[in-house]
Chain A
Amino acid sequence: AQSVAQPEDQVNVAEGNPLTVKCTYSVSGNPYLFWYVQYPNRGLQFLLKYITGDNLVKGSYGFEAEFNKSQTSFHLKKPSALVSDSALYFCAVLNYGGSQGNLIFGKGTKLSVKP
């Protein structure tokens, strides 16, 4: 069964510093991996995805993620954090074996960027 894990409930970063939000995955085949961001009382906004190709994926709002097959990780990164990046971040994997293409989400990591 496919799954993703986000080991950190919360990440605190100072504005201007680099940020990393961790995600590891467990899949039986080639993973389709995603990052979404959720602002309070809002739906999910797509940030980026890895399907195939370059291990470094660039996405919206200056975010990027690196697919690491050997470590089964897909950490989200940004070189310089903004206060406005403060939100809830979800890592997800496409579920091949279950319903037709639903996403399986990690528990989420709250990112707090302080001025």
Chain B
Amino acid sequence: GAVVSQHPSRVICKSGTSVKIECRSLDFQATTMFWYRQFPKQSLMLMATSNEGSKATYEQGVEKDKFLINHASLTLSTLTVTSAHPEDSSFYICSASATGGKQETQYFGPGTRLLVL
């Protein structure tokens, strides 16, 4: 089946630094990728929708300048947490829909655990 990878799987950084998280579709092309955030013992909340070749669509309350999204190719989307602070510590999960595939079929990455000290 389709595979989505995320890198890194875990990252610890100092407050004020920026962290880039990659989401790759390994064996299919993904026009659309989604970035979710999951707090401990809570559900996944959609942060933004990443579209190849165009600007990302952010959900209400998500700061565009804080969470930079780039979808430069059909297999890669990146989420950069700029000037990270401890409250940005969370589990970030991406998902991807195959180009030309059924919209409801989404494949999830394994997640990235971010800890900001």
Binds A, one of B13-21, B68-76, B105-113: B105-113
B106 touches A105 (CB 8 A): no
B111 touches A100 (CB 8 A): no
Binds B, one of A14-22, A39-47, A70-78, A79-87: A39-47
Chain B residues near A (Cβ < 8 Å) = 6, 32, 34, 41-46, 48-49, 51, 57, 59, 91, 93, 95, 97, 103-104, 106-111, 113
Within 8 Å by CB of B43, from A43, A94, A107, lies: A107
> How many cross-chain pairs have Cβ atoms below 8 Å apart between A and B?
63
Query: Which chain B residues lie closer than 8 Å to A49 at the CB level?
Result: 104
In addition to A44-B108, A105-B44, 13 A-B residue pairs with Cβ atoms within 8 Å of each other are: A42-B110, A43-B6, A43-B109, A44-B93, A90-B43, A99-B59, A101-B104, A101-B106, A102-B46, A103-B34, A107-B42, A107-B43, A108-B43
Query: Which chain A residues lie closer than 8 Å to B6 at the CB level?
Result: 43
Query: Which chain A residues lie closer than 8 Å to B109 at the CB level?
Result: 43
Chain A proximity of B7: nearest CB distance (Å):
13
Indicate the size class of the contact surface on chain A: 20 to 34
Chain A residues near B (Cβ < 8 Å) = 32, 34, 36, 41-46, 49, 51, 90, 94, 98-108
B104 touches A51 (CB 8 A): yes
Within 8 Å by CB of A106, from B43, B93, B97, B104, lies: B43
